[in-house]
Homo-oligomer: A and B are copies of this chain.
Amino acid sequence: MTAEIHLLHGDRPPSLDPMMALVAADMNEVNSVILDRMQSEVPLIPELAGHLIAGGGKRMRPMLTLACGKLLDYPGRRHCKLAAAVEFIHTATLLHDDVVDKSDLRRGRKTANLIWGNSASVLVGDFLFSRAFEVMVEDGSLKVLKILSRASAVIAEGEVNQLSAQRRIETSEDQYLAIINAKTAELFAAACKIAAVVAERDEATEAALDAYGRNLGIAFQLVDDAIDYVSDAETMGKGVGDDFRDGKVTLPVILAYARGDAAEREFWQLAITGHRTSDEDLAHATSLLHKHDTIADTLARARHYGQRAVDAIGGFRASQAKATLTEAVAFAVARAY
């Protein structure tokens, strides 16, 4: 099913383990920076930030910065500090997302807003966001600052756009793609691209890593949105059907609505506006998704973007780093199975 992605790891299931092993030493340094820079004399800040940062995330984005550094044989240490800044930006957006979505669970654990309240989540998110910029300013590259300040604005824009599209069943695939490009793929792209900046490579290299990260990010989000209808709380760390109940119009729904008959469309209209959200309604929705193959087709779309990610770094010479970046794509698109 992932055969379209040209795999380098033979018969075992794709995994992030090889990438983690490759960057383990650098990641230790990233973790030190994270722990050091999330400190504050106000105890609630490290307490709340630590819950999320230490709470079992994959560190996907900083890992990409580090792996791209390896890909470019970057000999310096600057990317470790910047990778920590990227993780701070990501953590800040998660804290604010959970407030916006009124989430109770993330990665299988209680969310910060559930434990400490919305106010603390908003303000500690602001702190982490500001701290990310302080760390970038210490590094001193205006080019990196430009990439990540722009990414932050685009992410927020994407989140507002998503909020505006919520409960609107007429959302198009193009609008949906614009939203996930902004809210998810932009930071993946920036995380990869800054490795090229610190390694002082040419614009073509920057563009290649941007394209790798961006397409991986889109694939990643497409699979996430599919998983929301097929997984359960244990594998996903959040409840199945969350998007459905929140009235989030993701690609599986967009396709099912487009392919549905009048009765089905009326059901989707009621469901997405919050008038059909029982467990039976969710079961009916899921049956419609399967009837029209929209989970499978969402995953096919994900493989398309995954393949583009792999091809974006096709020009780099073969290396262990390139192999792990390729396998990360295969892992991202294989998660649903």
Contacts and interface: CB of A to CB of B under 8 A. Distances in A.
Given A96-B123, A134-B150, A137-B142, 13 more contacts: A40-B157, A41-B157, A45-B160, A120-B160, A123-B159, A129-B152, A130-B150, A133-B133, A133-B145, A134-B149, A134-B153, A136-B149, A145-B145
A273 to B, nearest CB: 16
Q: Give me the 4 closest cross-chain CB pairs, A-B, nearest first.
A: A130-B152, A127-B156, A130-B153, A133-B149
Contact of A100 (B93, B100, B119, B142): B119
A155 B133 CA distance: 14
Interface string A121-162: 011101101110110110010100110011011011101110
Size band of the A side of the interface? 35 or more
12 contacts: A44-B160, A44-B163, A99-B118, A119-B163, A126-B156, A126-B159, A127-B156, A127-B160, A130-B153, A137-B142, A137-B145, A145-B145
- Name the residue in A118, A122, A142, A149 with the highest tally of chain B Cβ atoms < 10 Å from its Cβ: A122
A73 B177 CA distance: 50
Given A142-B140, A142-B142, A157 B100 contact: no
A142 B137 CA distance: 7
Contacts of A131: 153
